[in-house]
Amino acid sequence: MADTQFVLASASAARRRLLIEAGIQPFVCPSNFDEDAVVIRDPQELVKVLASGKAEAVAPQFSNALVLGCDSVLAINGITYGKPESEAEAIDRWRQMRGGSGELHTGYALIAPGREPLVRSRMTRVFFAHVSDAEIEAYIATGEPMHCAGAFATDGKGSMFVEKIEGCHTNVVGLSIPLLRQMMAELGYRAIDFWGRT
């Protein structure tokens, strides 16, 4: 296990940053998994299937690696949202979200050599401020919401418009570090053994 590589099957800069801050320097290998081909209404199941698809698409490229796939969606009033496809969509979404709350679901799939994939999900409730139309338009104009599930980032300018969260904060950013540690332990790995590796 000492020479096991940690691979992140995601192009997310936020996930990579969280791993580095937690002491793990991942090898980034984004998957070509077709997310649009997956149609599942339940957000918890959806993110697990998407995370699994990403991890399973990348894992065969590595002979000795822990491969992590992740995906996030925001559910509001029973409707699931990923990244907005246009600025107009992002503005409409924020007009729905302001003054209310949503459930941010992130799915995790961790694949280890010779083991069955471990798949989990975690939900964090996010409460949004009652922001004005001008604030919404200014935020969308920054471009930040266009790259985020739910059209907001709690680790950027969007933090100004989030009143509170209930649950794991890093899950909203894109990767629950406490859950990752638990999943690694279930597969027989210690997160601390990856500290300092390059």
> Where does residue 86 rank: exposed (0-12), middle (13-18), buried (19+ CB within 10 A)?
exposed
The answer on pLDDT for 142 being more than 80 is yes
For residue 158, the enclosing domain spans: 5-194
Q: What is the pLDDT of residue 2?
A: 59
State how many domains the chain has.
1
Q: How confident is the model at residue 39 (pLDDT cuts 50, 70, 90)?
A: confident
- Which CATH number fits the domain that encloses residue 75? 3.90.950.10
Residues serving a catalytic function are 71
Q: Any residues with CB less than 8 A from the CB of 192 and at least 6 apart, and which?
A: 23
* pLDDT, tens only, 164-176: 999 999 999 999 9
Average pLDDT over residues 142-157: 91
The answer on pLDDT for 192 being more than 90 is yes
* Inter-helix orientation angle 133-141/87-97, to 10°: 140
